[in-house]
Chains A and B, each alone.
Chain A
Amino acid sequence: AQTVTQSQPEMSVQEAETVTLSCTYDTSENNYYLFWYKQPPSRQMILVIRQEAYKQQNATENRFSVNFQKAAKSFSLKISDSQLGDTAMYFCAFMKHGVKGAAGGTSYGKLTFGQGTILTVHP
């Protein structure tokens, strides 16, 4: 079974500054996906960024980037130029890579989440 750990229950940052959220995971799988989801006060789950484990290059999406260290099983999220709208709960999540065509081999896209980090951006 996979586990995902977010060791920072709460973080805060000033507007326009940079903040990094930490995530570690444990798995025996070699092929998998890692995700960061954002949950604002509206409660809607929003995908922020995705990383495929077989890719060495770190994923980036505008102001959001990750530092993926496969050997260390670490997957941190960096938010640059923080904005008030970034205030939210952030979840790190793990998904086994599905095996297309293999009988009984697919992961069916099941996600394992960390406990979450509440990020507050101050003006």
Chain B
Amino acid sequence: DAGITQSPRHKVTETGTPVTLRCHQTENHRYMYWYRQDPGHGLRLIHYSYGVKDTDKGEVSDGYSVSRSKTEDFLLTLESATSSQTSVYFCAISDSAWSGRYYEQYFGPGTRLTVT
């Protein structure tokens, strides 16, 4: 199994509070992703990173920000959590295009976030 951990695994928070989710990898992979999973929508890309300090928006980025100060960590922040951000959040990693195997994407165990 790829070395990907997410913390916390479960969190309950109140509307309006800031929340940060952490993804940590030990694979030294260049690309990292944050997805959210909601019933009827599958997984949708929030933000992704293609290198340290290189990030970009995905399909559903409103209300989220990310940071990547080192290869192994990718942080997702909800500046002011809303009930619509109640979801399961998955981090994923893949190697760079230069490796020829960037299509192999490995997922973390997920974080269940509830915003009350």
Interface size class of A (residues with CB under 8 A): 20 to 34
Assess whether B105 is in contact with A111, with CB atoms less than 8 Å apart.
yes
Cβ-defined contact, B40 with A50, below 8 A: no
Query: A93–B102 Cα gap in the complex (Å)?
Result: 15
Interface bits B35-74 vs A (CB < 8 Å: 1, else 0): 1000011111100101000001011000000000000000
List the A side residues contacting B42 at CB < 8 Å.
4, 6, 91, 113-116
Q: A73 to nearest B CB, angstroms?
A: 17
Tell whether, in the assembled complex, residue B103 and residue A100 are in contact, meaning their CB atoms are under 8 Å apart.
Answer: no
B-contacting 9-mer, from A39-47, A54-62, A75-83: A39-47
Q: Which residue of B lies closest to A4 (CB)?
A: B42
Cross-chain contact A98 with B45 (CB below 8 angstroms): no
Q: Is the CB of B43 within 8 A of A109?
A: no
| Stretch of B13-21, B75-83, B90-98 with 4 or more beta carbons under 8 angstroms from chain A | B90-98
A-B pairs with beta carbons under 8 A, tally: 64
Please count how many residues in chain B sit with their CB below 8 Å of the partner chain's CB atoms. 28
Interface assignment of A21: CB less than 8 Å from any CB of chain B: no
Instruction: Say whether A14 faces chain B, with CB atoms less than 8 Å apart.
Output: no
Proximity bits, A79-123, B CB within 8 Å = 1, else 0: 000000000000101010011100000101111111110000000
* A100 contacts B98, C-beta separation under 8 Å: yes
A33 interfacial contact with B, CB 8 Å = yes
A93 to B48, CA, bound (A): 17
A47/B104 in contact, CB under 8 A: yes
Partner among B40, B48, B90 whose Cβ is within 8 Å of the Cβ of A110: B48
Given A43-B110, A44-B109, also A108-B50 (CB < 8 A):
yes
Contact B97 A110 (CB under 8 A): no
A→B interface (CB under 8 Å):
4, 6, 33, 43-45, 47, 50, 91, 93, 95, 98-100, 106, 108-116
Interface residues of B (CB under 8 A from A): 31, 33, 35, 40-45, 48, 50, 56, 58-59, 88, 90, 92, 94, 97-98, 100, 102-105, 107, 109-110
